[in-house]
């Protein structure tokens, strides 16, 4: 997965929500979950709560919305991971260890994880479009300042502030899509936003690799900041005004109740764990891969190491295709395929042959982005109230996974080389598979009880 009150008319809330008792947890009305519910896309909104005004593929505004959020995704991932491909150079430049340098990535993702829920609450009051614009604006400003950091401590602090600023964007974007896009098109729309993430991650890393080889890591980080400026301006100009956003209040107690209800919902809790564990794998792999490729037996220059991230294009394709995958295999089936593909990539990448390392990265990237698109869209589909908070909790788990994966991946690499990083990833994937299998069994038991009650 709208600007508040920029003149957009408020619309009614779903009549079904109005008749639910206060204790009903968000998402309890739907039977879908990537790891728990039915395999079919429940159309708890296929009646099109907003009537013909909801955006649909081919309809007016849909392309502008898709391009705007695609560019927001590009800017978010380019900024968030702007130092990841440069870690070997930052390590040398500051005379730091790899684990210390990895904090330039982990501090940004960790701060995002901590701040995403509070900022999502602001989006409920001031609007999705307003929050996304403010987040990008502050993050872009910090991106322009980051190249001038005098030491590693200041660099880490600026990166943490940048991650905190970006926290207002992902959850607001998914809530915007859930409110403005027709339910049947939601997985595809979120898949395009996730595809923007993959393009941003790729372009930022490729750009920094070649710029750093010519002019150093500071110039490379500055180039990413300029790319983000262009994306932020285009995003604001393109994103349609919201038509289905209703402002809420900033009541901390109400926020606490909403967050607790989401965490108590077993469907959502499983999705949060799945997103976090997937990101442990991805964060570990892409934090460490530069160190592996710069050393023997590969000894690649920085520009080529940055170009390795072109495999993110595979993620662009797999995330955008997640909707078709779900229609063919169901949400749980799509998750099993994502886990299997990612695990195969980890195992293939163990070999000290560049072509196999690249093949492994392709499989890891394809599996990860497909799994992320399915899990994140399932959160937006499941939560029928407090969508921004539901998406924010997913994003919090997701980026905590990234932060933990980056740090643990570096520790595992220095303890046992690339094999240690692969083992860490396989353990995390075993967790995803176990959670999904538990959901599959829970769904079958629920179906059996329903059949018995019906007879």
Which range among 5-9, 99-103, 122-126, 426-430 shows the weakest confidence by mean pLDDT?
Answer: 5-9
Crossing angle of helices 87-94 and 152-166, rounded to 10°: 140
- Residue of higher predicted confidence among 261 and 21: 261
How much is the average pLDDT of 308-332?
A: 81
Average pLDDT across the chain, whole number: 81
Burial of residue 5, with CB atoms counted within 10 A of its CB: 0-12 exposed, 13-18 middle, 19 or more buried: middle
Domains along the chain with CATH numbers: 63-239+260-454 (1.20.1250.20)
Mind listing the pLDDT tens digit for each residue in 260-303?
999 999 889 999 999 999 999 999 999 899 899 988 899 999 88
Residue 355's CB is within 10 A of a number of other CB atoms, namely 9
Identify which of 369, 326, 324 has the alpha carbon closest to the alpha carbon of residue 345.
Answer: 369
Res. 27: pLDDT tops 70: no
pLDDT band for position 409 (cuts 50, 70, 90)? very high
Mind listing the pLDDT tens digit for each residue in 180-224?
887 777 777 777 777 777 777 777 888 888 999 899 999 999 999
Output the CA torsion 22→26→31→33 (10° steps): -160
Identify which of 424, 404, 414 has the alpha carbon closest to the alpha carbon of residue 91.
Answer: 414
pTM of the model: 0.72
Mind listing the pLDDT tens digit for each residue in 136-187?
999 999 999 999 999 999 999 999 999 999 988 876 887 788 788 877 777 7
Can you tell me whether residue 29 is helix, strand or coil? Answer: coil
- Residue of higher predicted confidence among 353 and 306: 353
* End-to-end CA separation in angstroms for the chain: 39
């Amino acid at each position: 997965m709208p600007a508040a009150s920029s003149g957009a008319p408020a619309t009614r809330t779903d009549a079904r929500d109005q008749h639910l008792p206060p204790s009903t947890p968000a998402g309890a009305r739907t039977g879908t979950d990537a790891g728990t519910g039915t395999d079919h896309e429940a159309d708890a909104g296929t009646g099109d709560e907003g009537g013909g005004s909801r955006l649909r593929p081919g309809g007016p505004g849909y392309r502008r919305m898709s391009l705007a959020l695609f560019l927001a995704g590009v800017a978010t991932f380019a900024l968030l991971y702007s130092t990841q491909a440069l870690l070997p150079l930052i390590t040398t430049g500051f005379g730091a260890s790899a684990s210390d340098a990895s904090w330039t990535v982990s501090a940004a993702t960790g701060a995002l994880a901590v701040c995403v829920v509070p900022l999502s609450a602001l989006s409920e009051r001031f609007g999705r479009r307003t929050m996304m614009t403010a987040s990008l604006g502050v993050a872009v400003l910090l991106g322009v300042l980051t190249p001038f950091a005098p030491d590693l401590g200041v660099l880490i602090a600026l990166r943490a502030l940048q991650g905190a600023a970006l926290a207002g964007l992902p959850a607001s974007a998914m809530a915007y899509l859930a409110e403005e896009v027709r339910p049947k098109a939601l997985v595809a729309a979120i898949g395009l936003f996730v595809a923007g993430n993959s393009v941003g991650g790729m372009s930022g890393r490729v750009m920094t690799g070649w710029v750093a080889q010519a002019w150093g890591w500071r110039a490379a980080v500055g180039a990413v900041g300029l790319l983000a400026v262009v994306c932020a301006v285009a995003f604001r100009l393109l994103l349609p005004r919201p038509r289905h956003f209703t402002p809420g209040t900033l009541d901390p107690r109400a926020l606490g109740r909403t967050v607790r209800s989401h965490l108590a919902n077993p469907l959502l809790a499983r999705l949060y764990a799945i997103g976090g564990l997937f990101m442990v794998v991805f964060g570990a792999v892409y934090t460490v891969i530069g160190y592996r490729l710069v050393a023997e037996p590969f000894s690649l220059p920085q520009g080529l190491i940055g170009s390795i991230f072109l495999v993110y294009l595979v993620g662009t394709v797999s995330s955008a295709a997640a909707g078709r995958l779900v229609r063919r295999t169901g949400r749980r089936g799509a998750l099993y395929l994502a886990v299997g593909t990612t695990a195969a990539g980890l195992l293939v990448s163990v070999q000290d042959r560049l072509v196999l390392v690249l093949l492994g990265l392709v499989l890891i990237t394809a599996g990860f982005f497909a799994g992320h698109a399915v899990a994140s869209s399932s959160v937006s589909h499941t939560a029928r109230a407090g969508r921004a908070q539901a998406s924010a909790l997913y994003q919090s788990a997701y980026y905590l996974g990234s932060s933990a994966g980056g740090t643990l991946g570096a520790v595992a690499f220095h303890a046992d080389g690339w094999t240690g990083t692969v083992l860490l990833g396989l353990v995390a994937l075993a967790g995803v598979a176990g959670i999904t299998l538990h959901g599959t069994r829970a769904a079958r038991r629920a179906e059996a009880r329903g059949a018995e009650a019906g007879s």
